[in-house]
Chains A and B, each alone.
Chain A
Amino acid sequence: MNDLGHDLYHQTLMARSRAPRFAGVADAATGVGEGRNPMCGDRVRVSLRCVEGRLTEVRHETRGCAICQASADLMAEALSGAARDDVAALTSEFEEVVTVEGATTVRFMMFRPLVRQKSRRRCATLPWSALAEALAEQGVKTDG
């Protein structure tokens, strides 16, 4: 909680949006995807390198709000080094956090307030849409 009384904009989220750790373009990317939100003009481009079934690098270029920036960066962090077979489970875990009241997952909990703020949910899911496109480009589905 900050003094503006908004549990969404807490320190971790603000820190990540101000100074993302995974911004940029993946070296020798094997997949690139883009998500756009026509309502606000936000855009996330995700590039990744997948070697022998493992995501060795995930990067994002994000033009968007603090929620979108932080979501892209934390997504890239969670996926870096993950087996590509685990992407579907991670994606569902994220979706559960932002759509299900009282979700019991442990990751991405900072986005929990979005359950009650549907108007901003798309800001957080946009990077995941870009990720799905980046993986689809190289023939890997995220829906399990």
Chain B
Amino acid sequence: MDDLMAPVRVDLSARRGDFPILSEKVHGRDLVFLDSAASAQKPLPVIDAMADAMRHQYANIHRGLHWMSERTTDAYEAVRSQVAALLNAPSQDEIVFTHNSTEAINLVAHSFGALLKPGQAVVISEMEHHANLVPWQMLRDRAGIELRIAPITDAGDLDFDGLARVLSDGQVGLVAITHMSNVLGTVVDARRVADMAHAAGARVLFDGSQSIVHRAIDVVALDADFFVFTGHKLYGPSGVGVLWGRMALLDAMPPFMGGGDMISSVSFEQATWARVPHKFEAGTPAILEVIGLGAAISYVESIGYDAIARHEADLVAHALRRLPEVPGLEIVGAPVERGGVISFTMADVHPHDIATLLDRSGVAVRAGHHCAEPLMRRLGLTATARASFALYTTRAEIDVLVDSLTRIRTLFV
């Protein structure tokens, strides 16, 4: 049955046991969790790391002189170097902890945005999540920055000719673009984007919220200037995200938020800033969540991105083979390279009805506009249903999805 061109299959089903929630029942059925692109489930090492910290080793960081504070600071800072290694960042000081990708992008829009001059432009694409659209609209309205949109093709790939056009006048200060679409699954050729941006005198930010779940990231190889991701999609907890930026840029940028931890000295008249990265980490950070993220990264690395990518490529191939068996089903987009995300519509059945009825079969999918309304309009749709895969997803679960969709369809026609 397998295509000769299909990648070598890697069976990760034994890893399902690491995720306690996967043995839960929903409406009396086995949970089939196909909504990992919204937020992934958590493996035991993450759960244990956070619980252990709360049970045995917890205090505020960077300020206590006592044993608990020092040890917790060490644990927190150890994750910074883990993240740097994960991204192949030149220095761990270039790793800024935020609360999610959205905050990381807002940080860049605020602080790198402060370095842009009125009349300069920021480029995003037609397939951005609202998180990589609204902060730039706010910057545009605040600072007189032009916001330009690079088009996508009908297949759902970035239109590089269109990107070249919006870069051509040399006025672009930053290209901020998704590395993998949360709707289409499109994996963007980031290096090509970076090369084009740099040739036009622009910096480049990649939103890696989806891509880092499915692909090894090397910010040096991508020649990125900024890269952001969030912990909760990478099997870590919610409430922690990461901004990586080149030191020269982070150093030149003013702080994002003011408060404790981000200062060097403070008087009633003025304050001076702490060095990067602390300059951008105002207030008590998400200590437990950072520790949880560290455990998640260790977990992912113990499996290896190569195995994860091959497993997910197999799932995507299986889903693309089986989903068209459902009468009336149409897969949205046909990108050149697709991560573990497939959006679809079904003739005569609204995506919300699909999601509600799938839920009754224990199958969790997302339905709606996926925080990407302009993309929906570009595609001529108001909503889609979306199945997304993780390292714990199985072919059998995709078969349950297909069978459930086929039964749902009979209700409506």
Contacts and interface: CB of A to CB of B under 8 A. Distances in A.
> Bound pair: A and B?
yes
Contacts of B357: 4, 6, 9
B368 interface: yes
**For chain B, which range describes its interface: under 10, 10 to 19, 20 to 34, or 35 or more residues?**
20 to 34
Contacts of A3: 407
Interface string B357-377: 100110000011100010010
Contacts of B412: 14, 18, 66
Nearest to A113: B356
B383 interface: yes
Given A40-B351, A63-B382, A6 B360 contact: yes
Interface in A44-95: 63-68
Contacts of A42: 350, 382
B356 A40 contact: no
B27 A5 contact: yes
B71 interface: no
Nearest to A2: B411
A143 to B, nearest CB: 28
Given A4-B360, A6-B360, A40-B369, A66 B353 contact: yes
A107 interface: no
A4 B99 CA distance: 39
A39 interface: yes
Contact of B353 (A2, A5, A9, A39): A9
Interface in A103-144: 117, 120, 123
B408 interface: yes
A41 interface: yes
A38 B373 CA distance: 9
Main secondary structure of the interface of A (DSSP, over half): loop
Contacts of A6: 356-357, 360
Nearest to B356: A120
Contact of A40 (B27, B368, B407, B408): B368
Contact of B352 (A2, A14, A120): A120
Given A9-B357, A40-B368, A66-B353, A4 B382 contact: no
A63 B407 CA distance: 23
A8 interface: yes
Nearest to A3: B407
B27 to A, nearest CB: 7
B356 A117 contact: yes
A41 B369 contact: yes
Given A4-B411, A63-B382, A123 B352 contact: yes
Contacts of A65: 350-353
Interface in B367-406: 367-369, 373, 376, 382-383, 404
B371 to A, nearest CB: 10
A120 B357 CA distance: 12
Given A2-B411, A14-B412, A66-B412, A40 B360 contact: no
A66 B349 CA distance: 8
A14 B368 CA distance: 21
Contacts of B349: 66
Given A4-B411, A63-B382, A66-B412, A41 B352 contact: no
Contacts of A41: 369, 376, 382-383
Given A41-B382, A66-B350, A9 B411 contact: yes
A14 B350 CA distance: 12
5 contacts: A9-B357, A41-B369, A65-B353, A66-B353, A120-B356
Given A8-B356, A41-B376, 11 more contacts: A4-B357, A4-B404, A9-B411, A40-B350, A65-B352, A66-B349, A66-B412, A67-B353, A117-B356, A120-B352, A123-B352
